[in-house]
Chains A and B, each alone.
Chain A
Amino acid sequence: MNENEMTSPGYEIPPELRHQVTITTLERIYNWGRANSLWPMMFGLACCAIEMIATAASRYDLARFGMEVMRPSPRQSDVLIVSGTVTKKMVPQIVRLYNQMAEPRYVIAMGACASGGGPFKEGYNVVSGIDKFIPVDVYIPGCPPTPQALLNGLIALQKKIKRQSLRDLPWYQKGPAEPIPVPVLGPDLMDPRKFALIREVTHRQAVQDQQEGEVAHE
């Protein structure tokens, strides 16, 4: 943050203190601190995780942005980089990890698969994007995104954080946050939020099958 950004207009700083004192808003200094010490979760799913490792290594050096501290525990991490294909078998674990992260928390969908299913979208075990279950802040295109693209995505997230206001963020409101219901593995993946819809459609299908059976019987 340069000096112009830091110093809010309207306050006169005496010339002798100009390089020692700076005046800003609480929101700005707080967001500035948060944006530059994002700790990603050490969590790799698929091919994109290898590029994430390459980003953390010496040539691309994630440490320049204050993000080199990868934490294996969701309790200690600020940003969840969903790096790879989200499968139905894995998504309950991802939702659980997200629920366990302390707020404020951010999610980056890295690559085509995490953003929308990618090349494997048509597969029977693939979730069409992690945003079907958890809110995503930044989407990074690519298959896999290059380390430069991931860095760009992280910088985009930093910009987003710097624009946020303490007043309207959900995690600064009163009352605890509601955890996201963990999907259940049944005959296929079941989202608890959609149980009513599932029951309605399968019931309709059963009635339809029965009618067709009767018609065929006649």
Chain B
Amino acid sequence: MSEAVPRIAQIPNLVDLFPDKVQPDTRPGYQGYLVGREHLLEVVQRLRDEYGYDYLSSVTGVDYLPEGKMEVVYHLYKTLGGPALVLKVQMPREDPRVPSLVPLYRGAEFQEREAWDLLGIRFEGHPDLRRILMWEGFAGFPLRKDWREPYFEEEAKPFKSRWPEGFVFRAEDRNPFGDNVQYPPGFDPETWTPPDDEAIYRVLKRASEEDDLHADTLVVNLGPQHPSTHGVFRMVVSLSEETILDLKPVMGYLHRNHEKIGERNTFLQNMPFTDRLDYLCSMSNNFGYALAVEKLMGVKPPERAEYIRVMMAELTRFLNHIFAIGFLLNDLGAYFTPALYAIEERELILDIFEAVSGSRMMCNYFRFGGVARDVSPDILEKVRRLVYDRLPRKVDEMDEFLTRNEIVRERCEGVGVLTAEQAIANSASGPVLRASGVPYDVRRAEPYSIYDRLEFDVAVRYHGDIYDRYLIRLDEMRQSLRILQQVVRDIPEGPIMTGKPQYQVRVPPGEAYGRVEGPKGELGFYVVSNGKPNPWRYHVRAPSFINLTSLVDMARGAKVADVVAILGSIDIVLGEVDR
């Protein structure tokens, strides 16, 4: 078998390996392989066990309405590094069924539920196939191309009513209910029985009947309005006394229809929407989306723009991690003082963002082929002072105050452990993966931008508990500063855009998956273009969302008081979880 195992950078030729079961995707602009749905499990299992594709990064569906087909797209990676192996399963639109990959990769669980929720693709063998972002009972599958939202106006922007005449009306006035709602014809609200939460409670593990003590199982709901859930997130926990038996995350309370709106928007109109995904790190989100579309367009930003991009992305990482540490301490009970310390430096970084982009949080700074505005010398000087002086002192200060603190250690060490095997199987990414001992960082595994030229180490810790997830954020902040110091030292003069800035970009047909190492983990954008000004499919592989798969593994067996700290250590942002 040894000669058949390819080198890391090569993608094995699946047609040779699985004749009759796999064929290459020959559509122009597409890559990867088409797999028959009856062979999917077998092919993927062999790829995982024999060829090292142990990391299922992204699962999503595409509705090819004109061809009458649905497609499920899988992006597989090796945790040793290397490019993606893209597998696709096509099926007729009338019969969208595909075997579930949850038995092989637990990380597919939420993503498959999402595809079922929004596209109506049924994953056979999925242990808990319920709606995840919308609620049970919602009518229709919103991301299907023939489904229309209540405020539907036209298939694609710019809408004729607004442009060029600029005649604007209130969407409410065109809806018969005067609101953003629609109901099936003949529907009577009086006869509706709201589906209760029984479906969630039913799948929770309870104390077993054979248990000698016959202890009762207590089901506790935390959220969606709870001071420590970092937004509108809900956990349903079943408890035996104080120990957690099982946990189900319930999300969708901030589902803002990012993807549906994104498919109506033009390519550039999506850029400000990506800001609002992970609203703490808008610059990183811009980066991922710009990379995906640039891959399709085949443009490369000039040297100075690359440096500016990396500078902004690393400042964002610093900002996010210091915020995450501050609020982890908040969750541990050190109410607001550590967070106040963290926010102080965050404001200084936000000042830089405001100076270059005009907005503190929603920067909307990246463009396809460059950035929106140049960085002036005095801003660079400010950044230089920050990264050489103020920010390193801040990391040391946090380190000194917190790392050896007895209470922090008592509450964090050995709590919420996630093993390396679990982390990989759950498709965890970012600090959660690396704190479990897997040194996987997209900046090194599949370098983008100028990261291959920069000197930095991939931080890794080996215990996989809350304490290590805290420590790894400190490590990464130090590495970010190292990168920033190189960037401000080496940043060249020159243009910041390839070509002329334009509002309507020409994107050739095809698909692209752009991914960056965001502060929360691997942030991927899957974009399908059919040559029109709007993306045909626009999907976000959200790290916070997929990292939550590991929450139950971390929480099982822990005490109920720890679950808040465990959630804090994953560092989720609900804008990205629910999109």
Contact = CB atoms under 8 A, between A and B. Distances in A.
A85 interface: yes
A57 B344 CA distance: 8
Contact of B139 (A58, A89, A187, A205): A187
Given A46-B575, A50-B279, A202 B256 contact: no
Given A51-B361, A126-B257, A128-B171, A186 B272 contact: no
A85 B273 CA distance: 13
A119 B274 CA distance: 12
Interface in A71-96: 72, 84-85, 87-90, 93
Which one of A50, A199, A208 has the greatest number of beta carbons of chain B within 10 Å? A50
Nearest to B354: A146
Contacts of A125: 133-134, 142, 252, 255-257
Which one of A121, A128, A146 has the greatest number of beta carbons of chain B within 10 Å? A128
B180 A127 contact: yes
Interface in B371-386: none
In this complex, the interface size class of chain B, counting residues with CB under 8 Å from chain A, is 35 or more
A123 interface: yes
Contacts of A195: 189-190
Contacts of A208: 185
Interface string A198-215: 110111011011000000
Given A90-B253, A124-B142, A57 B343 contact: yes
Contacts of A197: 177
A128 B180 contact: yes
A54 B257 contact: no
B256 A120 contact: yes
A87 B185 contact: no
B149 A185 contact: no
Nearest to B134: A125
B340 A58 contact: yes
B227 A72 contact: yes
Interface string B347-379: 100000000000011100000000000000000
B225 interface: yes
A214 to B, nearest CB: 15
24 contacts: A42-B227, A46-B231, A46-B254, A46-B279, A47-B279, A49-B231, A90-B224, A119-B273, A122-B149, A122-B264, A125-B134, A125-B255, A128-B179, A184-B192, A187-B139, A187-B183, A188-B138, A188-B150, A189-B179, A190-B181, A202-B183, A202-B188, A203-B186, A206-B186
Interface of B: 133-135, 137-139, 142, 149-151, 153, 171-172, 176-177, 179-190, 192, 194, 224-227, 231-232, 252-257, 260-261, 264, 272-273, 276, 279-280, 339-340, 343-344, 346-347, 360-362, 574-575
Interface of A: 42-47, 49-51, 53-54, 57-59, 72, 84-85, 87-90, 93, 97, 117, 119-128, 132, 143-144, 146, 184-191, 194-195, 197-199, 201-203, 205-206, 208-209
